[in-house]
Amino acid sequence: MLKPLLIITTILFFIGAGLYYFHESSNFNKSPKLAQSNQKLLKDLNTKSLDRIKIFGNGSRVDLVQLQGGGWKEQSLNYEADILSIQDLLVNLSKISLGDLVTDNPDYHERFQLLDPPDNIDLWEKERHGFALNLLRGDGTSIVYLLLGKERINGPGQYIRQAGSDKIYLIPEPLLIYSEADDWLRKDLLALESKHIQRLDLQKVDNSSFSISRVDDKSDWVNEPENSELIEKSKINRALSRLEDLTFSKLYKNNEVTQELTEQNYKEGSLSVTLFDGSVYSLIFKKNVSVDENYLLSLRMGISLEASGNPDTNDSKLRKEMEEFNQRVNSRLFEISSWEAKELLFSD
């Protein structure tokens, strides 16, 4: 008689244990009810003391530094950062509201991808680590240091905790952060109004060359030499349109592609753009002809001989513009799409 009762008791024990485990496990997969107070993560984000923003995630780092006199730069690439992207991040950060506490048990940090980021970037693991966002003052102390973990499986939300705290919260909407330095850069290269362009001198990758010029912005373009075949007007318009809005997708450090560019399978084309005020922009394109890849572009600004010797030229203003432009782009390689390069090279 006792044996059947013992068997039944054992079965009920395992069923009860299983139900308890399922209940506890499911609680972590569901969103806790948001706090009725709608508590803000940051009651007052004082950006006046903000000096630096560090982002670590997806196996890469971003280091944004505020410059004296205004503006930002990305430290690792030493290039100007996009202020609007930084402003959007700060605004979104100030809007974050916390839900109820999910857990304060540090054993669950790994489960929610909220482990402290490793010092060695190679040790970052997607299943264990999230994104680290650290806003710093000038003295190196943190205004706020957030760890952003996995997103909620069933519905919107993201698990977060502050560095140094074991408490894990659920925020209603994920805070999307770029972890690649290129994503934070100011991407515009040229914004030359077509009415200001006087002359275009092109040398294509096949070593053919031609020039077009005009007397003023109301005149038609003419070829040089005059007896050469006139370039299609549609191609001229596409090139002018591209010069009004030329951006890049990736910035290469000075030494990143030096070895590759010494190989013979790279060919060059160039475009010289002369403005009516005497400014001259030189664009040099590099393309790997063995595959259909994007182009690498280097730029430089100068002043034409005619303008430098002309008393009507505002020489000091031009030289200041030239120095600022060359300081930003000098000795750098910018990646642009193949179709953008082809428009500037008057290619089909």
3-state secondary structure of 161: strand
pLDDT digits (tens, 9 = 90+) for 256-295: 665 556 555 677 899 999 999 999 999 999 886 665 678 9
156: pLDDT confidence band, cut at 50, 70 and 90? confident
CA distance 218 to 279: 19
Return the number of other C-beta atoms located less than 10 Å from residue 29's C-beta. 9
Taking alpha carbons only, the member of 114, 118, 116 closest to residue 102 is 114
Work out whether the CA dihedral 118, 124, 129, 132 comes out positive or negative: positive
For 219-232, what is the mean pLDDT? 78
How confident is residue 149, by pLDDT bands cut at 50, 70 and 90? very high
Count of beta carbons in the 10 Å neighbourhood of residue 31: 17
Q: What is the DSSP letter of 116?
A: P
Please write the tens of the pLDDT for every residue from 169-206: 999 889 988 889 999 999 999 999 999 999 999 998 77
> Considering the entire predicted model, what is its pTM?
0.79
Return the ∠ at Cα 230 (arms to 227 and 234), rounded to 5°: 175
Taking only Cα atoms into account, the Rg of the chain, rounded to an integer number of angstroms, comes to 29
Query: pLDDT digits over 96-133, tens only?
Result: 888 778 999 999 999 999 999 888 888 888 889 989 99
> Residue 142, SS3?
strand
d(CA 43, CA 95): 9
Mean pLDDT, range 224-229, rounded to an integer: 67
Mean pLDDT of 148-164: 90
- The helix/strand/coil state of 319 is helix
Spell out the domain ranges in the chain: 47-184, 188-344
